[in-house]
A and B are shown apart, each in its own frame.
Chain A
Amino acid sequence: MKTWLPIVLALLMAGGAALRAQSPQAEVKSTTEGILALLKDPNLQGDGQKTARQQLVRAQMDKRFAWEQSARACLGRHWTQRTAAERAEFVKIFSDYLKETYSDKIATYYNDLDKINYQGEKILEGDFASVKLTITTKTKVDHPVEYRMQKSASGWMVYDVVIEGVSLVKNYRDQFDAIIAKSGYDGLIREIKAKRPAAPMP
Chain B
Amino acid sequence: MKMRSALLLLWLAAAAAAPAQTAPPAPADEGEFRDPFAAEDETAARAKPGPAVSDPLEKFNRGVYRFNDKLYCWLLRPVAKGYGFIAPQPVRESVDRLFENVKYPVRGVNNLLQGRVKGAGIETWRFVINTTVGVGGLFDPAAHFDLKKQEADFDRTLAFYGLPSGAYLMLPVLGPSTVRGAAGAAGDMALSPALYLDWPWGAAAGVSGGRMVNAASLRLEEIDSLRAATLDPYAALRSAYFQSREQAR
Taking beta carbons and an 8 Å cutoff, which residues of A are in contact with B? 4, 7-8, 11-12, 14-15, 17-18, 21, 69, 72-73, 75-77, 79-80, 87, 101-102, 105, 108, 124-128, 130, 139-140, 148, 150-153, 159-160, 164-167, 169-172, 174-179, 188, 191-192, 195, 197
Contacts and interface: CB of A to CB of B under 8 A. Distances in A.
Contacts of B37: 124, 128, 130, 148, 160
A14 B15 contact: yes
Contacts of B36: 124-125, 128
A101 B228 contact: yes
A58 to B, nearest CB: 16
B232 A179 contact: yes
A195 B221 CA distance: 18
Secondary structure type dominating chain B contacts:
helix
Secondary structure type dominating chain A contacts:
helix
Interface string B21-33: 0111101011111
Given A14-B19, A17-B19, A167-B243, A73 B232 contact: no
A192 B231 contact: yes
Interface in B189-218: none
Contact of B240 (A76, A77, A153, A171): A171
Contacts, number: 119
Given A79-B32, A128-B37, A140-B143, A11 B93 contact: no
Contacts of A77: 32
Given A4-B8, A11-B16, A18-B18, A139 B24 contact: no
B54 interface: no
Contacts of B27: 69
B235 A175 contact: yes
B8 to A, nearest CB: 7
Contacts of A79: 31-33
B89 to A, nearest CB: 10
